[in-house]
Chains A and B, each alone.
Chain A
Amino acid sequence: MKVGLVCPYSWDVPGGVRSHVADLAVALSDHGHDVSVLAPVDDPADLPSWVADGGRPTAVRYNGSVARLSFGVKATRRVRGWIRDGDFDIVHVHEPVAPSLSILALWVARGPLVATWHSSHDRSRIMSAGYYIGQTAMEKVRGRIAVSEDARRTMVAHLGGDAVLIPNGVRVSAFASTERLPELGAPRPRILFLGRMDEPRKGLSVLFDALPAVLQAVPDLEVLVAGPGDVDDAREGLAPECQEAVTFLGFISDEDKARALRSVDVYVAPHTGGESFGIVLVEAMAAQAAVLASDLPAFRRVLEDGRSGLLFPNQDSAALAMSLIALLQDSGLRAGYVAEADRRVREFDWDRVVDEVIAVYESVRAPDEKVTEDLRGQLVGRLAGRSDAP
């Protein structure tokens, strides 16, 4: 199939939607589909051949943060040209409520159109009742996808109806082949905590309370803590005898997160609540770290009730310590979980997720159908379109 993907946010700025689109494009290509991505681009110099330049983005305040978006007459013209020349079987737009290329693509195209909702905004002006143009564009979407339960709820609240839930994929092979963090010293047992240090629901204090017991059993343990927050405040919650064992990495990039996960024997997720999916567990499993997590419903699901990773009762530091010591002292136990995890993560791999996306494509498209320019519903377009109407 010829698939056109539309990313509303600047291609040069890392972000969730952008990397989703890039991963999806790669996975679709791997499945033999012909993919073109349209995105706002700052620097068209070294674009991959499969990315089309949607024009220079403008930084605007939108939904509480500054986003780099493309809109206006020039952007519309580019989208129109891309649709016309692309000859697509499917056009799949992402985050259609963002005032950028996605909604423009829905506006100027007709045919098999699919949209994926990513974030969960409480309020979106473009979708509020009476926004005539937004509705007209949104009505053309034949298949709706949401990447999370929250995103789905948002979409349903705005539009009614329903969406198919297809979670983000994880690039398993990329994690598995990542190198270890270079700045770490000689080999020793290592564990990792990821997340905001001052966010209680990430559970850093649950881990810190367990450390005295763990260090007694495994004295040469190094604890890596990666995430934003004040290091001095965090150290206050740490027993004096444990200070030396803990290394604070601060905020780290996605690449370094993958490296950090690759560098440790055990990834500890002591979250106490607020996790709806647990993608970080999947990433840890893909990086071949043994996973020890609190028994939140989302984590139980990902770890298959403890088959592909060890669970401990939520907020129970003593239980965490016991499980952690067992894992660190028994490499066979760790290897067992890593082997189970290796099987489990394949279900979250983009390679598998993309099949579900393709099933959606096939469910909205009649054989031989193409995405074409839509000249109806637009006052000027209607007049101009009369001549070539069938």
Chain B
Amino acid sequence: MSAGTFLGVILVIGLVLLGAYLSMTAGRLDHLHRRIDSSRLLLDAQLLRRSSVALELASGHLLDPAASLVLASAAHHARTSADLTDDEHALAESDLTAALMAALDPDDLALAKEAPDGPETLEELEAACRRVQLTRRFHNDAVRACRQLRRQRMVRLFGLAGHTPWPEGWEMDDSMPEGLPVR
């Protein structure tokens, strides 16, 4: 075998390995992008559920009229913001969190628990808030993993991410009022 053929063989093997690597990495990236899409859908669904429960809470007899009004307006704003930009939507959801915290301080909570069908509504709220926390965390985990891969040199060099926009996490205050009953 001449030196030329030998180099040729090395080159071909190298190209095959590179191709395999790129193909596998593209597969990983594709999977991560899908994972982000699906985690985002799940987060949106849980945000919607939380604002529904908040509206339900505001329209019941569990809170005083003023607190009801504050909560209803925040919940309504959060729902309608879903059509705006992500930043505006996230801000509205954080405002809803603030409204929930304000409307359900320990004294209000103690009273609401006494009311008929109070515990059920509050349990529902607890479940909704907890799922917002979970879906948000899982979404941001997916975003973080994807960003990490997209920062790699080979991925950038070969443009493996294509035109998919740079993934953004979902930043909001997702705390929940303390002392909500658990189902």
Give me the interface of A with B, judged by CB distance under 8 Å.
110, 132, 135-136, 139-140, 142-144, 160-162, 164, 352, 355, 359-360, 362-366, 369, 376-379, 382
Output the nearest chain A residue to B30 by Cβ-Cβ distance: A376
Chain B hits for A162, CB < 8 A: 137, 140-141
Question: Which listed residue (B30, B31, B46, B183) contacts A355, Cβ 8 A?
Answer: B183
Majority secondary structure, B binding face: helix
Output the nearest chain B residue to A139 by Cβ-Cβ distance: B145
Chain B hits for A144, CB < 8 A: 141
A205 to B39, CA, bound (A): 53
For residue B156, CB closer than 8 A to chain A, the reply is no
Majority secondary structure, A binding face: mixed
Known: A110-B31, A139-B31, A377-B28. A161 touches B144 (CB 8 A): yes
A364 to B138, CA, bound (A): 8
A-B contact pairs, 8 of them (CB 8 A): A144-B141, A160-B145, A164-B134, A352-B182, A359-B127, A363-B42, A377-B28, A377-B31
Q: Are B134 and A377 in contact (CB under 8 A)?
A: no
Q: Are B31 and A359 in contact (CB under 8 A)?
A: no
For residue B59, CB closer than 8 A to chain A, the reply is no
A167 to B149, CA, bound (A): 31
Known: A110-B31, A377-B28, A382-B27. A142 touches B39 (CB 8 A): yes
Chain A hits for B131, CB < 8 A: 359, 362-363
Q: Are B144 and A139 in contact (CB under 8 A)?
A: no
Closest 10 pairs (CB-CB, A-B): A363-B134, A377-B27, A161-B141, A376-B27, A363-B135, A161-B144, A143-B138, A139-B145, A363-B131, A136-B28
Chain B hits for A376, CB < 8 A: 27, 30-31
Question: Which listed residue (A136, A140, A160) contacts B148, Cβ 8 A?
Answer: A160
Chain B interface size, as a band, is: 20 to 34
Output the nearest chain A residue to B137 by Cβ-Cβ distance: A162
Q: Mark B124-164, 1 if CB is under 8 A from A, else 0.
A: 00010011001101101110110011000000000000000
A64 to B158, CA, bound (A): 41
Give me the interface of B with A, judged by CB distance under 8 Å.
20, 23-24, 27-28, 30-32, 35, 38-39, 41-42, 46, 127, 130-131, 134-135, 137-138, 140-142, 144-145, 148-149, 182-183
Chain A hits for B144, CB < 8 A: 160-161
A359 to B46, CA, bound (A): 12
Chain B hits for A369, CB < 8 A: 38
Question: Which listed residue (A132, A142, A360) contacts B142, Cβ 8 A?
Answer: A142
Output the nearest chain A residue to B24 by Cβ-Cβ distance: A377
A362 to B30, CA, bound (A): 23
Output the nearest chain B residue to A375 by Cβ-Cβ distance: B27
Q: What would 4 more interface pairs be, CB under 8 Å, given A139-B149, A359-B127, A377-B28? A: A132-B24, A135-B28, A160-B148, A382-B27
Q: Are B28 and A139 in contact (CB under 8 A)?
A: yes
A377 to B31, CA, bound (A): 9
Chain A hits for B24, CB < 8 A: 132, 136, 377-379
Q: Are A143 and B134 in contact (CB under 8 A)?
A: yes
Chain A hits for B27, CB < 8 A: 376-377, 382
Q: Are A164 and B137 in contact (CB under 8 A)?
A: yes
Q: Are B42 and A366 in contact (CB under 8 A)?
A: yes
A162 to B144, CA, bound (A): 10
Chain B hits for A110, CB < 8 A: 31
Within the complex, what minimum Cβ distance (angstroms) separates B168 from chain A?
15
Within the complex, what minimum Cβ distance (angstroms) separates B18 from chain A?
13
Within the complex, what minimum Cβ distance (angstroms) separates A195 from chain B?
32
A160 to B147, CA, bound (A): 12
A142 to B141, CA, bound (A): 8
Question: Which listed residue (B32, B39, B134, B149) contacts A359, Cβ 8 A?
Answer: B134
Chain A hits for B145, CB < 8 A: 139, 160-161
Chain A hits for B42, CB < 8 A: 363-366
Chain B hits for A160, CB < 8 A: 144-145, 148
Chain A hits for B148, CB < 8 A: 160
Chain B hits for A366, CB < 8 A: 38, 41-42
Q: Are A359 and B23 in contact (CB under 8 A)?
A: no
A140 to B31, CA, bound (A): 8
A126 to B39, CA, bound (A): 26
A369 to B35, CA, bound (A): 13
Chain A hits for B41, CB < 8 A: 366
Q: Are A363 and B23 in contact (CB under 8 A)?
A: no
Within the complex, what minimum Cβ distance (angstroms) separates B167 from chain A?
13
Chain B hits for A140, CB < 8 A: 31, 35
A355 to B127, CA, bound (A): 10
A86 to B183, CA, bound (A): 30
A38 to B42, CA, bound (A): 28
Chain A hits for B138, CB < 8 A: 142-143, 363-364
A140 to B38, CA, bound (A): 12
